[in-house]
């Protein structure tokens, strides 16, 4: 059955532009969010107001959830007033949050028992990727369910890939967040290093971006880091959550991640200093502190 009606639960920094892109692609999108002004913004773009969660999901062909953490996903999907209690059996449920892989597997199992098709489909690309519909989408679940969701994914991103059974999408997302955090940390170190030697960082990053050191992180974050503009595209508090998922999952699998563990401590330190609302590129602040250049 073709998907035409979508309930979108969680209209945050990334969820709102994703929902708007679905509206613009011709889907009927009903929004639900704890902060009503985010629903207002979706309605202004042609979406529908969902009211309560049960009301929002009752008539949907597909439900997309985009909420902060594992307990939020469990509450939204399996709670008494959640999706599994009020959506139509057979509804395709796509969780695009970033959560623990074991939780993704458990909610998929609960959903299957209740007659739902469940995919875990976390994304990478940040706010810019969500706005530009250029997200990378890592999907765990059944092939048939992935194919049913593919038209939706194609609206939201450029790289939707089925990576394995339930929980696999979240495992790949954890690896993504490990790479992103390490990349941001090294970019921060490079910037402070260049500044200490009096190099023009704009031209320095331009030439670095054209070589093997080039990356999406450098392209998307370099200018703002040079300018110390840490307006959140992806908040430190969320990356701290992600790094805890990574370190816990790596420990459970007996995998050593020495560099990742170090960066995880830096991310946690920034959050503990009260910087949880800043963009994760604020890792630059830690490098400045360690270099004795904080506030220069």
Catalytic annotation, residues: 173
Q: Which residues contact 262 (CB under 8 A, 6 or more apart)?
A: none
**Residue 17 CB-density burial (10 A; 0-12 exposed, 13-18 middle, 19+ buried):** buried
Vertex 200: Cα angle to 283 and 276 (nearest 5): 15
Is residue 240 within 8 Å of 271, Cβ to Cβ? yes
**DSSP 3-state percent helix, strand, coil across the chain (nearest 5):** 55, 15, 30
Token reading at 62: 């597909």
Residues 139/166, Cβ–Cβ less than 8 Å = no
Q: How far apart are CA 259 and CA 281, in angstroms?
A: 17
By DSSP bridging, strand 5-9 and strand 48-49 are unpaired
DSSP string, 43-103: HHTT-EE--SHHHHHTT-SEEEE--SSHHHHHHHHHSTTSHHHHSPTT-EEEE-S---HHH
């Amino acid at each position: 059955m073709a998907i035409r009606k979508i309930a979108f639960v969680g209209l945050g920094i990334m969820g709102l532009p994703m929902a708007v892109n679905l509206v613009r692609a011709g889907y009927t999108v009903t929004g639900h969010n704890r902060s009503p002004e985010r629903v207002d913004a979706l309605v202004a773009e042609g979406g529908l107001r969902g009211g309560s969660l049960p009301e929002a999901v009752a008539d949907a062909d597909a439900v997309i959830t985009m909420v902060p953490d594992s307990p939020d996903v469990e509450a939204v999907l399996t709670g008494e007033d959640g999706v599994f209690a009020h959506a139509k059996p057979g509804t395709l449920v796509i969780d695009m949050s970033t959560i623990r892989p074991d939780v993704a597997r458990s909610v998929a199992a609960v959903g299957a028992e209740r007659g739902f098709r469940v995919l875990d489909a976390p994304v990478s690309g940040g706010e810019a990727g969500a706005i530009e519909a250029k997200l990378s989408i890592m999907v765990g679940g059944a092939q048939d369910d992935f194919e049913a969701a593919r038209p939706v994914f194609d609206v939201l991103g450029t790289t939707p890939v089925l990576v394995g059974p339930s929980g696999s999408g979240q495992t790949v997302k954890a690896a993504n967040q490990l790479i992103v955090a390490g990349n941001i940390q090294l970019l921060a170190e490079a910037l402070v290093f260049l500044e200490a030697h009096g190099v023009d960082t704009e031209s320095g990053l331009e030439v670095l971006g054209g070589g093997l050191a080039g990356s999406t992180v450098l392209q998307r974050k370099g200018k703002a880091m040079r300018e110390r503009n840490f307006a959140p595209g992806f908040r430190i508090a969320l990356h701290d959550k992600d790094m805890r998922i990574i370190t816990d999952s790596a420990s459970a699998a007996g995998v050593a991640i020495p560099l990742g563990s170090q960066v995880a401590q830096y991310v946690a330190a920034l959050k503990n200093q009260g910087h949880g609302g800043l963009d994760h590129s604020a890792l630059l602040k830690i490098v400045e502190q360690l270099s004795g250049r904080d506030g220069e």
